[in-house]
Amino acid sequence: MGWASQVMIPAPPQLAASSWILIDAHSGAVIAEHNADERLPPASLTKMMTSYLLEYEIHQGTVELNDMVRISERAWRMPGSRMFVQEGTFVSIEDLLRGVIIQSGNDASVAVAEHLAGSETAFADLMNQHARLMGMTNTHFMNSTGLPDENHYSTARDLAILSRVKIMDYPEHYSIYSEREFTFNNIRQTNRNRLLWRDASVDGLKTGHTSEAGYCLAASAVRNDMRLISVVMGTRSDEARTQESQKLLSYGFRYFETPRLYQAYQDLDEARVWKGARTSVRVGLTEDLYATIPRGAQEQLQAEIVLHPNLQAPLVVGDQVGQLVISLNGEVVKQEPVFALENLERGGFFKRLWHSLIMFFSGLLS
């Protein structure tokens, strides 16, 4: 992350994998990466988007957890990992969600796709639309399962973006990713994410494997209110993806921290405003601000608010009035827009005229 010259932090671990990335969930900062933008087959990591779309529709109110889904012949015949649904039966949305997440069921994924979009092809189009909205610029989906297709690909970075959105946007469903087993149709299957057994701080997310993709794992863990997300792609075995993911997470937690520096709508400063009923307005952030920094370096952070010099009324809550710059040893760590936290109406005619003259002779008006 660029601080090696100022802070004693070892280089990130080198993994036996095709690509990987480690990010902080709150700040979005990338802590370590290797070939993170290489397009690779994502295998069943695809199902994170399948389950995300189902969670999205639940949140939108278009489907409910107790809705029943009729299983088609196509869903029933899907090869590979399965939930073991039966053709012609009805299965609840809640069970299908667990079937996708915990059992990595290809049959459950297709059932979800057909229920939400009418066909898997139409569902793949929805997947790609949502991927673009998230900023997943090197991803293209052809199906809901991750079964091999030359035009079906993603990257470690894009899958980390997806993981972060899932965790932050729909926390009410995220707990499913930590469940170690699920029994459906009297068939008990365990979660393939072995980190759930080895590390109590790990609570998700998803495994993937095909001969083309190798063994992949998107994982997330929380320690002392710091949440990290790792994505490791193209390892040689189930054990390898587990060990390599553990290395990344351990490195991040050992050498970094992500403190909350400021709260949303906290008063940070007052901005000078021209032509207003008052001469200043309170300013701050509209979201909590987190920064990922070397562990123990928080006292060395410096904050500077750079306000626009010629702000003029009227202003309303949410108008951008400047920038907050957080730096560490001269290097910018975070740069966020600063907004007005209150409305400010225009002043009277003579006040506006007087301020216009001052601004003109001060060079603030051209």
Residues with a known catalytic role: 44, 47, 104
Quick count: other Cβ atoms within 10 Å of Cβ 281?
Answer: 23
Q: Do residues 260 and 216 lie in contact, with contact meaning Cβ atoms separated by under 8 Å?
A: no
Amino acid at 103: Q
Q: Do residues 94 and 66 lie in contact, with contact meaning Cβ atoms separated by under 8 Å?
A: yes
**C-alpha to C-alpha distance for 112 and 92, rounded to whole angstroms:** 10
Per-residue tokens: 287: 């979201």
3-state per-residue secondary structure call for the chain = CCCCCCCCCCCCCCCCCCEEEEEECCCCCEEEEECCCCCECCHHHHHHHHHHHHHHHHHHCCCCCCCEEECCHHHHCCCCCCCCCCCCCEEEHHHHHHHHHCCCCHHHHHHHHHHHHCCHHHHHHHHHHHHHHHCCCCCECCCCCCCCCCCCEECHHHHHHHHHHHHHHCHHHHHHHHCCEEEECCEEEECCCCHHHHCCCEEEEEEEEECCCEEEEEEEEEECCEEEEEEEEEECCHHHHHHHHHHHHHHHHHHEECCEEECCCCCCEEEECECECCCEEEEECCCCEECCEECCCHHHEEEEEEECCCCECCECCCCEEEEEEEEECCEEEEEEEEEECCCECECCHHHHHHHHHHHHHCCCCC
Per-residue tokens: 22: 């480690």
